[in-house]
A and B are shown apart, each in its own frame.
Chain A
Amino acid sequence: MSNDVQIFIQQVIIGLTTGGYLALIALGYTMVYGIIELINFAHGDLFALGFFISLVLFKAVDAPRPLEGPWLIIVLPLVFLVTMLLTGGLNMLIDRVAYRPLRRAPRLAPLLTAVGMSFVLEALYAIWQGPGQINYPQYFPRMNILRDTLQLDTFILFSSKDIFLFAVTIPLVIGLTLFIDRTRMGKAMRACAQDREAAAMMGINVNRVIAITFFIGGALAGAAGTVWGLYLNTGRFLMGFEAGLMAFTAAVLGGIGNVRGAVLGAFVIGMVKAISDGYISSGWTRVVIFGTLILLLVFRPSGILGSTQGIEKV
């Protein structure tokens, strides 16, 4: 293969992996927006929290690097589980304190509290873990599959970590879609997304449904943060802001409120980011992504797959 093709394939791999963790974050945005029409500004910061909590947990159990044997089979899933429970629980708590009192307020009021919440969380992370770049040790064993395992003559890097990333994100995304499509709670969530008042009249406990939505969104963001840490091995207290905006762009791209759309949008944004990083310049990537967001909202606010929300145009 020529070098150009190899470079292109490498960018596609990077784009897909970026899309993988963005999808987990975008799902939280789209679910919350689908039900209470709130752009949960603090959502990206739960992703950062997942990063920090899993890091602290790994350090607390004094995990070997790389993880091996029972560590890989038992401790790694446990860390994921605890992190997801904690970030999900915190997201539920945030909803209870900051958004539920404003449920009947016009929609800009909770948006402002969400911005306030985001700043509080970011400042607390900076105090907790310091404002600099944080090193997340290489816990996950890294093997270059194409060159070392398969003995191919290529410089494309496709490692065990890439497989791990998809092994975490794909089951979670499929699990969530099944949960929403097949379970009673999923049905209640869809009902609330269509018409909250009617759902309440049908005997659905709307506040409980919203709390569970926040829990699931937070847990997925926590998983994304852990994946990011294990995959990229570095992070910062502000990482949630940037990733959150990208994931929100992805959710809008796919049609906000639309779960499958959010996943599709995340992969599109991941590719856009990788192509821009690789072929334009990483300095301009923010401009490219936010420019996409603006153009998208202006020309097609209902996204690619169409949103479940009727976008009012008055």
Chain B
Amino acid sequence: MGSIARSWSQLPRVVRIVIALFVIVFAPIIIKQIELITNFGLLTQINRALIYVVLALGLNIVVGFAGLLDLGYAAFFAIGAYTFGLLTWPTHEIGTPFFIALWVCAAVAAVFGILIGTPTLRLRGDYLAIVTLAFGEIIPTAVRNMSNVTIRIGPWTLLDGFNMTNGSQGLVPLGKPDFGWFEQIFHLEPGTLRVGVDPTFWYFVIVMMAVLVLFVARRLEDSRLGRAWKAIREDETAADFMGVDPIRTKLLAFALGASFSGLAGVVFASMLGAIFPDLFRFQVSIFLLIIVVLSGMGNVLGVLIGGLIISLFDGVFLAQVLPPLFPDVDVQQLRWVFFGIGLLLIMVFRPQGLFPVGQGKRRPAFLDIKREPEQLSAEADAGIKMKGAG
């Protein structure tokens, strides 16, 4: 693994980009061939996996870079998806175009990130985790209840019995991106792209989003802001003394992480064409956290690879390969046994994750197991003896 990574990084940049483009473009063709043999809907699964990668990259900013444990990240995903739903659900008659709604939703999610972050970021790590978890529970519950919203301020009735989210029945159908201009420019017949129906179409939309997010995450990692995040993660007091504003830095992590999940929420909602409150349960937050922790926190490429592996393991192996092999066992129920035990084993035996951050970059301090004092003093003794012998 390490040697492959090393020889990859030694290739010239142009070659790397060409190879990556080549893989991205030809992947659907190869996958189509595999789909002829198997019957997994593999491309759909890959689309889903890539959306999870985008979400995990956003969570990685919060948890991996800034070291803030967020147990309710799915709330921002829900906010992105539901804002898109409000803007494009035909009943509301707003009909915002996809590419405008995309940025609006990312911005709304970021605003919510700041709203929940501002009062809570002063809290200690585990209290912050619980606050975010509570927030993650509040959003889907509120969405489920907002099918009949009445707002009155004094004598004025702003909204009366307004069906905002359609409760647990969810919002169906939702807006699709409009690529009519593309067909016009290239003089294609209308409908050639099969917008919104064809998984190959969505594959390219999602890959574009993933590449954008990956690029931003990579650039952020070693930027001034990224270094400030890591400084806060390692030692907040020391970072504060060095002139890093902890609250502002953490808020930026929350806002950027939330905006990533807002983007993912829009694409997810538009791809499915329907959203329900149950899609954004606590399990989603934990699934994303598992991706980030298993892949090695703070490692952008690790999260990309780990996210693909784990989501495909979940969507293809657990959901489609195993059930026919073991018809008597309900594999879907065993799913969380696998993930729970995986999380346990990783935390106990390999807290740095599968793809730890490389040498020279430190992993999050909150994963370092402190050495026993005896061990430290033994090392100190050994040092003294060696000096004495020298």
**Chain A interface (Cβ within 8 Å of chain B)?**
37-39, 98, 101-102, 104-113, 115-124, 126-127, 131, 241, 245, 248, 252, 281, 283-284, 286-287, 290-291, 293-294, 297-298, 301, 311-314
Contact = CB atoms under 8 A, between A and B. Distances in A.
A108 B369 contact: no
A311 B337 contact: no
B123 A298 contact: yes
Most chain B beta-carbon neighbours within 10 Å: one of A98, A106, A122: A106
B366 A109 contact: yes
A194 B201 CA distance: 61
B385 interface: no
B175 interface: no
A311 B124 contact: yes
A122 B336 contact: yes
Nearest to A104: B370
B333 A105 contact: no
B127 interface: yes
Contacts of B293: 112
Interface string B318-355: 00000000000010011111011111100110010000
B347 A112 contact: yes
Q: Determine the main DSSP class of B at the interface with A.
A: helix
Given A116-B344, A117-B340, A283 B145 contact: yes
Most chain A CB neighbours (cut-off 10 Å) among B120, B330, B344: B344
B78 to A, nearest CB: 14
A122 B120 CA distance: 29
A314 B129 contact: no
Contact of B348 (A98, A120, A294, A314): A98
Interface stretch (B1-9, B132-140, B209-217, B262-270): B132-140
B351 A109 contact: yes
Interface in B338-390: 339-344, 347-348, 351, 365-370, 372
Given A106-B366, A286-B138, A291-B138, 14 more contacts: A37-B126, A101-B348, A105-B369, A107-B126, A109-B351, A110-B347, A116-B339, A127-B330, A245-B137, A283-B141, A291-B134, A297-B127, A301-B123, A311-B124
A113 B350 CA distance: 12
Contacts of B339: 116, 119
Contact of A287 (B129, B141, B236, B348): B141
Contacts of A115: 71, 286, 289, 343
Interface string B117-152: 001101111110111011101100110110000000
A116 B341 contact: yes
B245 to A, nearest CB: 14
B69 A108 contact: yes
A123 B335 CA distance: 8
Given A294-B131, A294-B135, A120 B336 contact: yes
Nearest to B129: A111
Grouping DSSP codes into helix (H, G, I), strand (E, B) and loop, the A interface class, with mixed when no group exceeds half, is helix
A34 to B, nearest CB: 14
**Most interface-central of A38, A108, A252, A312 (chain B CB within 10 A):** A108
Contacts of A313: 122
Interface of B: 69, 71, 119-120, 122-127, 129-131, 133-135, 137-138, 141-142, 144-145, 236-237, 282, 286, 289, 293, 330, 333-337, 339-344, 347-348, 351, 365-370, 372
13 contacts: A98-B348, A102-B347, A106-B366, A109-B347, A109-B351, A113-B344, A115-B343, A116-B342, A119-B337, A120-B336, A121-B340, A284-B141, A298-B120
Given A105-B370, A116-B347, A119-B340, A290 B144 contact: no
Contacts of B131: 293-294, 297-298
Contacts of A314: 236-237
Contacts of B135: 290, 294
* Top-9 shortest CB links A-B: A116-B343, A120-B340, A119-B340, A290-B134, A123-B336, A106-B366, A116-B344, A116-B340, A123-B337
Contacts of A293: 130-131, 134
A120 B344 contact: yes
A195 to B, nearest CB: 15
A22 to B, nearest CB: 16
B340 A245 contact: no
A294 B344 contact: no
Contacts of A98: 344, 348
A301 B124 CA distance: 10
A131 B333 contact: yes
A283 B366 CA distance: 37
A116 to B, nearest CB: 3
A306 to B, nearest CB: 16
A75 to B, nearest CB: 32
Nearest to A311: B124
A246 to B, nearest CB: 11
Contacts of A311: 124
A107 B134 contact: no
A127 B334 contact: yes
A126 B333 contact: yes
